[in-house]
Amino acid sequence: MRRAVVRGAIAAGLVVSGLSAADTGALVFDTPRPGDYVSGPIALRAHVEPGSLRPVRVSFFADGRHVCSLERPPFECPWDAGPAVVEHNLRAVAQFADGTRLVATVRTADAGYVESVDVDVVQVPVVVTEGGRFVEGLPPEAFTLREDGRPQRITSFASADSPLEVVVAIDVSGSMSSSLDGVKAAVTRFLSALRPVDSVTLLGFNDTVFTIARNAKTMEERAAAVAQLESWGGTALYDAASRGISMLGRRPGRRALVMFTDGEDKVSRLTQDDVRLKLDSGNVMFYGVAQGRAVDTVELERVLRQFAHSTGGRAFAERDAAGLDRAFKEIVDDLSHHYLLGYTSTNPARDGSWRRIEVDTPGRKLRVRAREGYRAGAK
């Protein structure tokens, strides 16, 4: 098994009874990491940094309850964090033959809100072009908006210079091992094109989903997080998409989820329909990038395009690093030029129905790409 997805020691304590730190080394929690958002089945992993002795047992505890004990590496066991993203206190204990123990602890993060579908304010991201060029500086009165053919009054408006909140989810499954260095370089260039005022959260995903940077505003933070990624495991694409949507929540403002993957999802506990429902019920633009062998996976490309189209985002399929750079540049251009319209629907029913949205710029022959609709869920 490969070593940690994210390198680096975390909170570790040593209880000494006859052995020195040189004898025992140090116990390091690999996953999850401090501040990660966890839910559902995940793996608890730890390792002992090199010392002259090996532990006779490593045990894991979650919220005070024993999860498992292992007598030889790899020190890894499955654990179900439950359906909600709430805080958990995790502990790993390595015990040596003379009773000496090493202890490492991790506290995961609470999402800070309970997700619900609220259609009181519907946000509609809009990209306007003319002859292939972005049209900037349009006022709110330049737009008309209809829901199921009925005119709606635009009650909020944000232009392209307003701050952006983006979650970038990076596939680090085992199939990425040969291409990961090039992908990390392309993602780093993509992040460098975003502004310091933009808030960036970075997720990695393989068999599990983990946070590598939260609300990173400096390029140094963003680049350092990407540089630590390593590849192993499967591709939990749907779980990662769901996590990204939940982290963006329903706060007002320009928000986007950018996902990169090279393979079909065969390990997620969630389904394509679960993700589609969250996208339909939320206010997030989705951008998907299929790379490498994924270009030949017709079903994956179809899924990414479906997710993107319904939210006003875009999907790409690229075979090489040059294609990745082109895709990321186009995504940055999109994010740098989209307007955000908000309205309160004249239809108060919360009946789970699909509401079709149409946006236009009357009097001007402009091309408008917008979110195509949303699902009005019951409270």
What are 278-324's pLDDT values in tens digits?
Answer: 898 888 999 999 887 777 788 888 999 999 988 999 999 988 888 88
pLDDT: is 5 or 124 the higher one? 124
Q: Is residue 2 part of a domain?
A: no
CA–CA distance, 89 with 107 (Å, rounded to integer): 5
Assess whether the previous peptide bond of 34 is cis (omega < 30° from 0).
no
Domain boundary among 41, 75, 107: 107
Residue tagged 């209880």 (tokens): 15
Q: Which domain holds residue 72?
A: 12-107
Number of domains in the chain: 3
CA–CA distance, 158 with 252 (Å, rounded to integer): 10
For the record, the structure tokens of 150 come out as 């009925």
Mutual angle of helices 321-335 and 180-192, in 10-degree steps: 30
Residue tagged 């070593």 (tokens): 3
Asked if 59 contacts 134 with a C-beta cutoff of 8 angstroms, the reply is no
**Single-letter code of the amino acid located at 337:** H
Q: 256-271 pLDDT, tens per residue?
A: 999 999 887 888 989 9
CA–CA distance, 127 with 142 (Å, rounded to integer): 13
Do 367 and 329 have their domain in common?
A: no
Do 31 and 168 have their domain in common?
A: no
- CATH code where residue 319 lies: 3.40.50.410
Do 64 and 143 have their domain in common?
A: no
Do 347 and 323 have their domain in common?
A: no
Do 81 and 146 have their domain in common?
A: no
Q: What is the mean pLDDT of residues 225-237?
A: 90
CA 371 vs. chain centroid, Å, equals 20
pTM score > 0.75 for this model?
no
Q: 141-161 pLDDT, tens per residue?
A: 999 999 999 999 998 888 877
**Cα–Cα separations (whole angstroms), residue 27 to 58, 66, 95, 361:** 9, 18, 10, 61
